[in-house]
Chain A
Amino acid sequence: MKYLEVRNLSCVRDDRSLFKALDFDLASGQLLLIEGDNGSGKTSLLRILCGIRLPEQGRVSWHTGAEQLKAEVAVHSNESYAGDMVFLGHLDGNKLDLTVAENLEFSRSLALGNDCSIAQALERVGLKHFEDLQVSNLSAGQRRRLALARVLMSGASLWILDEPFTALDQQGIEMVEQIISGHLQQGGLVIMTSHHRVSFDRTMIISINLSQ
């Protein structure tokens, strides 16, 4: 049973305190929904959780419990955490001059595990038959889907998604919701921000509102 433990986390940006003393636990099969107004620190929180940004205070620990229960690891610059976590930020991280397949091929060589093949991932995000197209020819929504295909392929347990529904159409949003609930059912963990109303099973969701 994997879980993420966050204790007493605070973030200061440009001398402005975004959030203080944030505590939560997230276990396998749970989704953390981070809500809040614009500029309330949602993205900063996600960047702290995935290790790009350092928190002002507090700690984030990742418990795998594989060898010994509560095998605590400091998250930052930790290989076993980085290998088990995938991040989808505001920017898709696709290379515009590479084809869809080349992009995924590259992200696959960076990841440690692999959940599914490139063709399977593309089919699940609705980009079948787009393999050989350069990403610069895709629409914003399709680029977002490609980024989601990368998340799907990573084989990571913890998904950290910043506004995954941006630029997606109604059918795309439903598709992503299905993918996320599928991941939760397989014992994965998801942390996401969204302005959309999400229609997940309420029992799996923990939500945090940074504006309050």
Chain B
Amino acid sequence: MIKSSLARVFFALLKRDLLLAFRHRSELFNPLLFFVLVVTLFPLGTGADTKLLQAIAPGIIWVAALLAAMLSLDTIFRSDFEDGSLELLLLNPHPTSILVLAKVLAHWLITGLPLMIIAPLLALFLGMDQELIGLLVVTLFLGTPVLSLIGAVAIALTVGLKRGGILLSLLVLPFYVPVLIFATNAIEMAMSGLPVTAQLWILGSFLLLAITLTPWPTAAALKLSLS
């Protein structure tokens, strides 16, 4: 009985989180706005040197996406922690790791997916080659869920603290750096006309590892934060 209802619980939680996000549309746009602002400010800061902008465009977009993802992490568990529904999620008979996965998926759909959709536009704006834009979206598709999954572990550890902000960035940044390196490296390689399959496979394996390995520490960290 527990196994058969697992999918139902997963989708019920996913639906609830998406509905809550929809009712809080203004908060929904915060990370997206941050992302767009940072990227649009760069040309103003560096001057309109097309060559330079083209060269640093993947880096700008990825760093901005990474910071936007990090800023939005707090919303994964914060409100559930404050209104007591996190306790109820942990106390129900279903495995917490599955519930965590549903919450992270909802969070990615709310914050990561919009970034991925708007990124091609910003890439055009920075003068990136059109062939490279597809690759940029692929790296974002493989990379941003990893940011959410790893961030969930850190936020689960710090959700009980009053001011966990700095601790949070110290915890997640070391794990975010490899994603950033391989994603931007893929695009740079493609710029010089080199094959990028290796980088994409590595990003893909990061994603698979994150999906399979992070829900357990997140669940354990949530239990720790609540007790």
* Number of CB contacts from chain A to chain B under 8 A: 75
Q: Using an 8 Å CB-CB cutoff, how does the interface string of B23-43 with A read, 1 for contact, 0 for none? A: 110000000000000000000
B93 interfacial by beta-carbon distance below 8 Å:
yes
Q: Which residues of B contact A107 (CB under 8 A)?
A: 88
Q: Which residues of A contact B1 (CB under 8 A)?
A: 112
Report the minimum CB–CB distance from B223 to chain A (whole Å): 8
Closest to B91 in A: A87
A91 and B87 CA atoms in complex are apart in Å by 9
Closest to B79 in A: A95
Q: Known: A79-B93, A95-B16, A97-B20. Contact between A110 and B87, CB under 8 A?
A: no
In-complex Cβ contact of B12 among A79, A94, A96, A110 (8 A): A110
B46 interfacial by beta-carbon distance below 8 Å:
no
Chain B contact-residue range equals 20 to 34
Report the minimum CB–CB distance from A82 to chain B (whole Å): 4
Q: Known: A111-B92, A112-B1, A112-B93. Contact between A54 and B227, CB under 8 A?
A: yes
In-complex Cβ contact of B94 among A51, A54, A105, A110 (8 A): A110
Question: Restricting to B136-161, which residues have a CB under 8 Å from any CB of A?
Answer: none
Report the minimum CB–CB distance from B7 to chain A (whole Å): 11
Report the minimum CB–CB distance from A16 to chain B (whole Å): 16
Q: Which residues of B contact A47 (CB under 8 A)?
A: 227
In-complex Cβ contact of A98 among B20, B89, B93 (8 A): B20
Whether the pair B20, A110 counts as a contact (CB closer than 8 A) is: no
Q: Which residues of B contact A90 (CB under 8 A)?
A: 84
A98 and B24 CA atoms in complex are apart in Å by 11
Q: Which residues of B contact A91 (CB under 8 A)?
A: 82-84, 87
A172 interfacial by beta-carbon distance below 8 Å:
no
Q: Which residues of A contact B91 (CB under 8 A)?
A: 50-52, 82, 85, 87
Q: Which residues of A contact B8 (CB under 8 A)?
A: 109
B85 interfacial by beta-carbon distance below 8 Å:
yes
Question: Restricting to B88-145, which residues have a CB under 8 Å from any CB of A?
Answer: 88-94
B191 interfacial by beta-carbon distance below 8 Å:
no
Leading 10 A-B pairs by shortest Cβ distance: A91-B84, A109-B12, A83-B93, A93-B84, A82-B93, A97-B23, A110-B92, A53-B227, A93-B85, A79-B93
Q: Which residues of B contact A (CB under 8 A)?
A: 1-2, 5, 8-9, 12-13, 16, 19-20, 23-24, 82-85, 87-94, 223, 226-227
A92-B84, A93-B85, A110-B94 known, 16 other contacts, Cβ within 8 Å: A52-B227, A54-B227, A82-B91, A83-B2, A83-B92, A87-B91, A89-B87, A93-B88, A94-B85, A95-B20, A95-B85, A97-B20, A97-B23, A98-B23, A106-B13, A110-B89
20 inter-chain pairs at a CB distance below 8 angstroms, sorted by A residue, are A52-B90, A82-B91, A83-B93, A87-B87, A89-B87, A90-B84, A91-B83, A92-B84, A93-B85, A94-B83, A94-B85, A96-B83, A98-B20, A98-B23, A102-B16, A106-B16, A110-B9, A110-B94, A111-B92, A112-B1
